[in-house]
Amino acid sequence: MARITTPVPGYNGQGPGNLHFSDGVAETDDEAIIAYCRGAGYGVDGQAPEPEQPQVPDPREVTTTVVGAPVRDAAVDPRPGDFRPPVGAGEGNPHGPEVYAPGLPGGGLQPPAPPAESEGEDHEKHNDPEAARPVQAAPVAEWRAYALAQVDNDPVQHAEVEKMTKAELIKKYGG
């Protein structure tokens, strides 16, 4: 019989393997329970448990391997080619209030995309019969704009297009 003592002196109640502890002591001859108790910080046969050594590695001894391109934070190290770097990037504390991102794509204070080289001319997508057909997953607004570009400047046809569902627009103008 092995004598098991709890890490909490004077404990009364159930323990591992349904051991019943009275004043912090229980007895068992089950080798599995004895082995568990040794590893879990219980004393066995009068021997105090060995203090656990921390398993945390020293970061100075850990070597790392970079996989892929190294990560760079535009708020800390901005470069001229960065698209929409935060305001104040590289000038102030990147975690402080002087460095902030003004908005998300499609909204906020910055343009939704950098201007393309061919956008110098005033090109209106609507009313362009050569406009590219939207993909099927495009929003209904894109399909309506495409359909309106396909019809004449007839107010009746425009009203008809505005009432059509996306499925109807795809059926009529998609192919």
- What is the radius of gyration, based on Cα positions, of the chain? 36
pLDDT tens readout for residues 113-132: 555 555 444 444 444 555 67
CA 122 centroid distance within chain: 39
Across the range 62-69, mean pLDDT stands at 77
The whole-number pLDDT of residue 111 equals: 46
pTM for the whole structure? 0.30
17 pLDDT more than 70? yes
DSSP string across 35-96? HHHHHTT-EETTBPPPPPPP-PPPGGG------SSPP--TTTS--TT-SSPPBTTTTS-TTS
Q: Average pLDDT for residues 130-152, to the nearest whole number?
A: 81
**In the chain, what are the domain boundaries?**
2-44, 126-175
Between the alpha carbon of residue 168 and those of residues 18, 147, 149, 153, 163, the distances in Å are: 70, 11, 16, 20, 10
Label residue 104 by pLDDT band (50, 70, 90): low
The secondary structure element, H or E, covering residue 171 is helix 166-173
Tell whether the model's pLDDT for residue 51 goes beyond 60. Answer: no
- Judge contact between 11 and 5, C-beta under 8 A: no
